[in-house]
Structure 1
Amino acid sequence: MKWKREELKAWTKIPTRWMDDDIYGHVNNVVYYSYFDTAVNGNLIRATGIDIRSLEAIGIVVESGCTFHKELSFPEVIEAGLLVEKIGNSSVTYRVGLFKEEDPEPAASGHFVHVYVDHETRSPIRVPESIREALKTILLES
């Protein structure tokens, strides 16, 4: 699936780094997942106004995927857009799109699933209310 720029709701600019490129002259495929992680967690910290590492629950990535549409390379600025597809009892499913700056077509479309677990026991628990409230602002309209 190719995410559309206009459907994504929260944006983060991420500069590519020299080390992101591989010997083929483009950003290596594994680095895209780092960009997803930066977009999701950066948004959570900005939206909640708290250090999410201090919560009683932490979001663990249980699933992620990426479809590549165009090459990215150094030096470029990536615009990472996201929206929340679903908030479950203990999970949150995100859509993430990576775009070259001001390009209407995505370079990559992906998904990212967090399951919230107790910091100590690592057992699944309800998504904290502070996270739920913040994510409602970027939730996909049904």
Structure 2
Amino acid sequence: MSGRGDYKHFLPLQTRWADNDIYGHVNNVAYYGYFDTIVNEYLISANALDIHNGDVIGLVIETGCKYFAPLEFPQKLEGALRVAHIGNSSVRYELAIFKLGDTAPAAEGHFVHVYVDRTSRRPVPLPDEFRIALNAIRA
């Protein structure tokens, strides 16, 4: 398990009413929504990703998550992000979800994205603006 200091980018998050399941805690599928939000917010804010008109888009080819502590609504969270590996057209993002103020994560996960041409859906080399943004949060 990693700690807060192992991550490079943080994003405030808030649990939503719809995140809770019948067992009274945030359902596992909601964590993947948090992860996707953290990655895309970072790339958009870093001017690397244009979700509407960009030539390059990321497709998820692998995900995983480990859960350490339950979350529930209403709760303030922090999402954390770092880049573990940058390939020619792929990136491994590592993420964590922290209860606001906690030093240990409630969950840790990863996404592997392959970046492809929006039209052909074929892999393309990462554009320079992506590499700059990714290297800024590389572990």
Q: TM-score, normalised by structure 1?
A: 0.94
Which residue of 2 is the match for residue 133 of structure 1?
Answer: 132
Which residue of 2 is the match for residue 91 of structure 1?
Answer: 90
Whether the 8 Å contact between 2:48 and 2:133 is mirrored in structure 1 is: no
Distance 2:48 2:118 in 1: 20
Which residue of 2 is the match for residue 48 of structure 1?
Answer: 47
Q: Using the TM superposition, name which of 50-59 and 70-79 deviates more.
A: 50-59
Helix, strand or coil for the counterpart of 2:130? helix
Helix, strand or coil for the counterpart of 1:41? helix
Whether the 8 Å contact between 2:57 and 2:117 is mirrored in structure 1 is: yes
Helix, strand or coil for the counterpart of 1:23? coil
Residue type matched to 1:7 in 2?
A: D
Check 1:83–1:56 CA distance in 2 against 1; reply closer, same or farther (3 A cut).
same
- Let me know the Cα RMSD of the aligned residues: 1.1
Whether the 8 Å contact between 1:27 and 1:73 is mirrored in structure 2 is: yes
Which ranges of 4 or more aligned residues in structure 1 deviate by more than 3 Å?
Answer: none
Distance 2:131 2:28 in 1: 31
Distance 2:2 2:110 in 1: 10
Residue type matched to 2:81 in 1?
A: L
Which structure 1 segments of 5+ residues have no match? none
Which residue of 2 is the match for residue 6 of structure 1?
Answer: 5
Which residue of 1 is the match for residue 102 of structure 2?
Answer: 103
Deviations 1:46-73 (A, max 9, x none): 1127634422110111111000000011
- Deviation, 1:77, is 1.2
Whether the 8 Å contact between 1:86 and 1:94 is mirrored in structure 2 is: yes
Distance 1:129 1:58 in 2: 14
Helix, strand or coil for the counterpart of 1:70? coil
Residue type matched to 2:65 in 1?
A: C
Whether the 8 Å contact between 1:44 and 1:52 is mirrored in structure 2 is: no
Q: Using the TM superposition, name which of 80-89 and 48-57 deviates more.
A: 48-57
Which structure 2 segments of 5+ residues have no match? none
Which residue of 2 is the match for residue 113 of structure 1?
Answer: 112
Helix, strand or coil for the counterpart of 1:30? helix
Whether the 8 Å contact between 2:49 and 2:57 is mirrored in structure 1 is: no
Check 1:50–1:89 CA distance in 2 against 1; reply closer, same or farther (3 A cut).
closer
